[in-house]
Structure 1
Amino acid sequence: MAISDIRREDVLGAIALLDDPVDGPEIRKQLHFGRALAYRLVHSGRFYDSKTVVGIAHGLGAGRKYLTSQDFSGGFESVVTLLKRRGFFVDSGVLHDISQLRVDRTHGRPAPYQYVVLLWAIARARAGLPRMVPFQDVRDELADILAPFAVAQTGPDPVMPWIALDGSLLWELEKPAGAQPVSESHVKSLNLAAGLSKSVYDRISDEDTWPERARKAFVAAAVDVVANLTGSEPGFLPLLQQLGLADLGSTTDVGRSPEVADAIAAVESVSNPRRMFGTRLTAAQKTAIEERAVQVTRDCLEDEFGYSTKDVGNTESYDVHATKGQEFVKVEVKGTTTDGAEVVLTSNEVDLHRAEHPNNALAVVRNITLDRSGDQPAATGGELVLSMPWEVDKGELTPIVYKYRTGF
């Protein structure tokens, strides 16, 4: 088995194994993998050595043979390429620097001020605002977003993270001549500018070098890392919403459609309520997409196949009931703004269509255009892919939630 045969599920299994407090350290030791120094896979805000993950994933897959550190004679290129193709984000080292920031702990818990300011700067970069900005120009704005995260009775002073971030790979602080180190009085009196380092700023905002998908994946990974460090803070999700960073998804969602990503986020928010999971689509946007998909499907069934149709989505476990004489078809409709490579099915939907075959169909309306500019979202266009009859088990069903009987 070549590493190119490793599946996404194998990689996720390797991550789960590495997360195990007993088995994780033991398998690292057995396979002679040391601590990662670069090219770390980012998943749910945590970092994993990419070679270790691929080595274990190879053993969990069809090859059934774990790869040791000695089996990777070449560089990281093939490993990184594989992980990216399987929908994972790999960090070259910049984002890992977030986890290495030294934060104040004198009040009994870590002060998340540096993380908040980083997210603020990332949001500025996504909005195309200038990279470096004088401190006094944004002091009040920073004070407002830092206030909900205060660890002491007094509100946080924005100058503290402004200086504390200096020296990391993510930040640049203007240096006055002869002032080493830079003090709070320097920043305030000289109105020193600061912002993301140029390389990080360009990674987020440079449209000529980085496609939108790659730029969003980088920002989503950064948000995930911060969420893993501070996600239990009650002000974290409101901060993401305020900064416009709540709809980026997660590094666990790279390569997924927004519908699938939102379904997984909903499940994970129940199973792990301490973490904050932003959704990519609002309820109104989902409704607009669903209604457009149903309309496209009904138009096709009526105009091209001669069926009479009825929208039954509010009362049945399927969406459209189509009839022609004595013939009937129960149609499951899925709408998406993506290419439709994956959709979400409930257990009821799967059970129904297994039972109703061959009097059933799956209608995927893909590449729907969603206009979010008005007061209400509007969905137009869409390309219908119709499977009629539909054999559910001919596709690939992947569970995204399990019910576990504890035996208590």
Structure 2
Amino acid sequence: MALTDITRVEIEKALEEYDRLGREAFLTHYGFRPARRYLLVHHGRHYDSKAIVGAAHGYLPGRRPLAAGEFSGGARHAVALLKGLGFSMAKDPSDQEPPGHDELLRRITKLTVNRSAGRPALYKPITLLWAMGRALRGEPRLTPWTETEQALTGLLRRHGAHGERPRPDYPVASLCRDGIWVLPEHSGEVPTAHGDARLRRWFAERQPLGGLVEPVHDLFHRSAVTRLAVLDAVLGTFFDGLDPAPLLADVGLEEPAGERPGAAEPWIVTAAEYERGCRLIDQWETGNEGKRDTRTTHRPRRSRAARHLVLLRSEGRCENPRCTGQPADVTDRREPILEVDHVLDLALGGRDHPSQMVALCPNCHAVKTRGSTREELRAILLRVAAERHRGVRAGARPLR
């Protein structure tokens, strides 16, 4: 077996067979998986480079096709052979470094959307929230185009407040180019999210399986802090002046279920997760300094992620060191009766940040708000919030 025996003639025969059978049947026949990194480009079409080389070996006189495990498809082997024969190569657009929490938030808050009507089009935000809800519920990351089209068409009709047409192909094509969405069975670039008939026809003909790139889906599924921080960013960036509650309920991200630590997530937070969450909140706070919810002009915007971190940090107990006993009862969801409070009012310059927030039982919250000793208690709580904030970031358990 020698790859160097393969010539352009054998490669072109393999390409002809690929075109005749179609990608899925070709890969199945020769026992290869879709390319994870390199694609062969020929006459404007993209091919799985390693599979093509393996099949081409079978066109040599007296030789058989090579199995995937018999040679390398990397840059120094199959790819080098193809380049040496004059073929062009491209990297699979889904081959990217997994985005971390900070990069994920940056990509989403910097999404390019159509603003020709003077307001941001909601195609991509609605699509993201739908996918986020699926990830939260543990549903499959990739869905057939018929399912994606049906779900997003309905959501765009019901919640497209800025003249959006029920066209799921627009946001999916655009999110693919943003590096947030992937169509794994399709080689090469997805058409740009412009035009009309051509884009619609492209999706109708290919019926692509698709969904969020795996690292993003996994972050949304396993990290409530990331999920809530992204939700804060999406709503604050694209839904200003709108009531997102009906949409959030429709996609399964309604506030009560989205915020609560709940039985599915234990009352514990690691130092790394707490640190990442605070960093995302810092970004959100910087980008929204002085901004208010225009639906209630006197109410500053508030972070769901910050509230979630404080509840986890509290481990389900009132953080007032002078608490005489929080209610022994629990909510209908079997959760402690706690209220997250800003020690310094936001309207008076306080921060929407765990370092200035505490979890209080109703009794302590009432004393802090209306009690005759409230100023003394506020000073204590501000110190406690700062200490607990530092303690969790350092990996220490909160002081009792």
TM-score by length of 1: 0.42
- Report which of the two has the higher share of strand: 1
Larger-Rg structure: 2
